[in-house]
Amino acid sequence: MTDLQRQRLLVTRTLPQASQARLDKGFKDVDIVQWKEDCAIPRSEFLKMAKGADGILCLLTDNIDAEVLNAAGPQLKVVSTMSVGYDHVNVPELESRNIALGITPGVLTEATADTTVLLVLAAARRMRESMDAVTHGKWGAWSPTWLLGSQLTDKTVGIVGLGRIGVAVAKRLKAFGVQKFLYQGTRRKEESEKTIGGEIEFVAMERLLKESDVICVCCALNDKTKNMFNYSAFSKMKGSVVFVNTARGGIVDQDGLIRALKEGKLGSVGLDVTVPEPLPKDSELLSFSNCIVLPHIGSATLETRTAMSEIAIENVLSGMKRERLPFPHDA
């Protein structure tokens, strides 16, 4: 075996235990370099460590752009992100260099749908205020009028993005007695409608905003969905709406959300994603008792994260086996 046949794999973070054990054992003819500190890889380190990589296994916290690809060099064959979302990857830049992209769809559907339901219920039932009351000694005698929230029975739920996660959210919420689902997305999805069953309708955004008691954001972040939920959209919602985003922070115009919350235009809000992440602890968003913010834990179960990291490893290894075609401009 000559050194020429060896490949270099950069892994930008320590992986869940089982997958990390595989990396530690190593792969035939692969030199692994890995950022193992307990923080996201700093950009300067990333650029240094990427040099000479044939494959990069990265996370959604790593911005994959021309600078990284240039730093890696023309031998780079594959970028495998341990995420289903790939808004942190400059896809046209990868395509123009014939670099494959691996993502981890499917395996995080259930965990993310669970988190969405968790936030819907927590926001609707005023979980933050309730827990704060207990912690801060504000728990008085049982009261018929204290901390009244809303329930899902007979309600209308709007789902924006009826992909795998949107469907899994709808199926779960149906069990809570939801009467009707409205959804929005790139097109009508009859198969998904059948899977969910019951009353479900593909509607214009205006109608979804106006008629939904609960709105769940389950779509990808792209040029079309960026800042889709702005002040104007929030102003069209019911004053009692429960608004939940477990997709990407960038889909919500956060200043618009803060303004709507300040003006009391929204019932309650649950967010698993924000801009930026982590959200600074002095962010105004954290000052509203009817807004619950989680630290992007949608897929954070041991089972799911292990499945994601296993797929990410398989993706990067298969990608590294590809014959590297020349850059289009080399031809």
Catalytic center residues: 296
- Per-residue interface string for the shown chain with ligand DGY, residues 95-124, x marking contact by CB under 6 A: -------------x----------------
Q: With respect to ligand DGY, which residue has the nearer C-beta, 85 or 166? A: 85
CB of 323 to ligand DGY, least distance (A): 29
Residues 6+ apart with CB under 8 A from 101: 78, 79, 80, 81, 86, 89, 91, 94
CB of 72 to ligand DGY, least distance (A): 22
Interface with ligand DGY includes 80 (CB under 6 A)?
no
CB of 171 to ligand DGY, least distance (A): 19
Among 83, 109, 184, 192, binds ligand DGY (CB under 6 A): 83
Among 15, 53, 85, 311, binds ligand DGY (CB under 6 A): 85
Contact of 98 with 330, CB cutoff 8 Å: no
Site stretch for ligand DGY (CB under 6 A), options 83-91, 126-134, 142-150, 280-288: 83-91
Nearest Cα neighbor of 274 from 299, 294, 249, 254 is 249
Interface with ligand DGY includes 59 (CB under 6 A)?
no
Euclidean distance between CA atoms 167 and 194, whole angstroms: 10
249 phi/psi in degrees, rounded to 5 = -60, -35
Interface with ligand DGY includes 89 (CB under 6 A)?
no
Nearest Cα neighbor of 295 from 280, 315, 273 is 273
Euclidean distance between CA atoms 175 and 173, whole angstroms: 5
Interface with ligand DGY includes 163 (CB under 6 A)?
no
CA 52 to chain CA mean position, Å: 30
- Per-residue interface string for the shown chain with ligand DGY, residues 280-319, x marking contact by CB under 6 A: ------------------xx--------------------
Please list every residue from 215 through 254 that binds ligand DGY, using CB under 6 A. none
Euclidean distance between CA atoms 308 and 46, whole angstroms: 21
Nearest Cα neighbor of 149 from 179, 129, 178, 174 is 129
Residues that bind ligand DGY (CB under 6 A): 60, 83-85, 108, 298-299
